[in-house]
Structure 1
Amino acid sequence: MSEIHLLVTGANGQLGQCLADQLKAQGITHTLLSRQEADINDTVVLEQIIAEKSITAIINAAAYTSVDKAESEPELAKRINEDGPALLAKVCSRFDIALLHVSTDYVFDGNKTTPYLETDQTSPSGVYGQTKLNGELAVHRYCSKHVILRTAWVFSEYGNNFLKTMLRLANERDTLGVVVDQIGCPTYASDIAKALISIAQKLQVEEQTNSGANAHYGVYHYAGNEAVSWHAFAMAIFEEAHKQGLLKRIPTVNSMNTEAYPTPAKRPAYSVLSVEKIANDYGVAASDWRRAVEQVVSLLAA
């Protein structure tokens, strides 16, 4: 059985860094590609890397994730979220390898009140969500061996995210206002990384034992195991940070409604993702985000 060799794009993002950590910890052969090293829109470089290193699958963690800025720079969002995945899909198809592509809850409008299924109608509200959906459609169109993994409310010890922003603000202010009428499932980027690696490994085994006859391709949802508001998530972060000594005091956290906090891009009011399909097909359990908050706070406090 040939050895797995994963190519990770977007290696400098928070998910990319978590993927690097997990691949190293698990001793899996991998190549990391950041935007500085090579543009995912550069076909020649990508094909050269795949051929020279005998890449067996690509995990695309490259994304334009500035939800509000996307409204004012749609061309850049399109280049990274649509054009990049389209090119990757074509290259993967040419080399007959799998593409694991990460997407978002923002492909939905957030008008449901029960967890979103992979089969639910997509209806993005802004530029970011639309470009991510178009990226999904391109992957589906150009590469039959694909897994599109939608996730939400991503946090980690790396990059810019809600957890790190809340901790910074809590050190600067005595009182904060956090939105209470948006509901979702916080998801630890390291758990997303583990899920993607597990999927890639299972696809590789299936490809080599049954020529991919029983491989599970398509769209999957992966997120945290408990739905909360941003306000409740913030409180969980503050309580854990205070417990571990990272915060000297817990700030007063006032509940705010979305209309009191206007943003250029509309946020989904409800973006809970059903994780039943990924559990059934791949045996991947939902991310335990409270345990992850404890872990991330511990890393930041070290």
Structure 2
Amino acid sequence: MRIAVTGGPGQLVLSMGERASTLAHRVEEVGPPALDLASGSDESVFAALAATFGGAGPQAIVNAAAHTAVDRAESEPELAFAINATGAGAVARAAVRLNIPLVHISTDYVFSGEKLLPYTEADATGPTGVYGASKLAGELATIEAGADAAILRTAWVYSPFGANFVKTMLRLAIDRDEVSVVDDQRGCPTSALDLADAAMTVAANLVTRSDPVLRGVFHATGSGEASWADVAQAVFAASASAGGPSALVRRIATAQYPTPARRPPNSRLDCTRLAAIHGIVLPDWHASCRDITTRLIHEIKTEKGLAR
């Protein structure tokens, strides 16, 4: 199956490119300058997507394009809404015109984080910052466009690519014996490689099956839950086992690490619906985190000529 994935070379886009052959798909990346959701019109977005595979056109679209700088979004809300809301609507309307199914990627930040249990798709949304509000607006724009779409909310994404928490921890451990990490925020760490598999499987289901239940909002995160401090500890353990840097984790409260944007204390998402309807259960985060950390350490050693 041919899949057009929107966005620059970020974690999910690169992960989909890597994982596509495993699932017998062909992924075509559609990003700047051809596709500019920050300032592009409906017509320019449609033209970029329509031209992806020449006259044949892709069989599905995954909209992974997003303004994901959570803190920076607080100071540049116009840009965040242009990409995450207006841009998402343009992609959805293009999908309608092309008569192509769409998988739209969203986030746990559409919730306030105050619920004590994992969030289900039926729970009321209530973003507390610009990033979450813009992503929620993108969900609504996708729905209002009437796209043949599934919306996947995910959380705490990490991968071998780009900037993410796992890579930050490894970098800090190079010259620190101890790293302070927040321990009172809980979520479901998600490998972008696992999310890529899920997004492409959902896309394939939309292409091959017309059942309305396959459409709508779904939660898609790694299995299991953790605090950020738990993830840091797992990263350091895996790194040490692979001969990489490690550090002690000092568990701190969110109040000790203030940020411009408020982080949800509870980012856990209940993925039961995705499993029941699409037959997808993402792997346990411990295993995926270990595999990616080990891979990163091996890549570092290879670059330095230390790998055996």
TM-score between both structures, scaled by the size of structure 2:
0.91
CA–CA distance in 2 between the matches of 1:11 and 1:66?
A: 14
Contact 1:70 / 1:127 at 8 angstroms: preserved in 2? yes
Give the aligned partner of residue 282 of structure 1. Answer: 278
Mapping of residues 196-275 of structure 1, within 5 Å: 196-206=199-209, 212-214=210-212, 216-247=214-245, 250-275=246-271
Q: Which moved more, 1:24-33 or 1:191-200?
A: 24-33
1:20 aligns with 2:17: yes
Question: For residues 8 and 68 of structure 1, what CA distance do their matches in structure 2 show?
Answer: 25
**Cα displacement (A) at 1:202:** 1.6
After superposition, give the CA deviation of every residue in 1:136-164 in whole Å (9 maximum; x if it has no partner).
00001003411100000000000100000
Partner of 2:95: 92
The CA deviation string for residues 63-103 of structure 1, in whole angstroms up to 9 with x for no partner, is 11100000011111111111111001111111221110000
Q: How far 1:51 moved relative to its partner?
A: 6.2
What SS does the aligned partner of 1:53 have? coil
Is the CA contact (8 Å cut-off) linking 2:16 and 2:27 kept in structure 1? no
- List per-residue Cα deviations over 1:240-269 (Å, max 9, x = no partner): 11011112xx32221111111110000000
- Checking the alignment, whether the CA contact within 8 Å between 2:30 and 2:48 is kept in structure 1 is no
The one of 46, 49, 62 equivalent to 1:46 is 49
Contact 2:159 2:191 in 1 (8 A): yes
Q: Does structure 2 conserve the Cα–Cα contact (< 8 Å) formed by 1:175 and 1:254?
A: yes
Q: How far off its partner does 1:169 sit?
A: 0.6
What per-residue deviation string (whole Å, max 9, x for no partner) do you get for residues 177-200 of structure 1? 110100001000000000011111
Q: 1:53 deviation in Å?
A: 3.3
Cα distance, 1:47 vs structure 2: 3.1
How many aligned residue pairs are there?
A: 292
- Aligned partner of 2:302 in structure 1 is none
- CA distance in structure 1 between the aligned counterparts of 2:294 and 2:260, rounded to whole angstroms: 34
Equivalent residue letter for 2:216:
G
CA apart distance, 1:299: 1.5
Deviation at 1:215, TM superposition (A): 5.2
Pairwise CA RMSD: 1.4
* In structure 2, distance between residues paired with 1:47 and 1:239: 46
TM-score with structure 1 setting the length: 0.93
Q: In the aligned structure 1, how far is the partner of 2:27 from the partner of 2:256?
A: 46
> Using a 3 Å threshold, how does the CA distance of structure 1 residues 213 and 104 change in structure 2: closer, same or farther?
closer
Ranges of 4+ aligned residues in structure 1 off by more than 6 Å: none
Partner of 1:141: 144
Aligned pairs for 1:84-123 (under 5 A) are: 84-123=87-126
Provide the residue aligned with 1:292 in structure 2.
288
Identity of aligned residues (%): 40
| TM-superposed deviation, 1:205 | 1.5
CA distance in 1, matches of 2:204, 2:59: 10
What amino acid maps onto 1:272 in structure 2? R
1:103 is paired with a residue whose SS is strand
Greater mean alpha carbon deviation, residues 283-292 or residues 261-270: 283-292
Gap runs ≥5 in structure 1: 207-211
Question: Quick check: 2:86–2:138 contact (8 Å CA) kept in 1?
Answer: yes
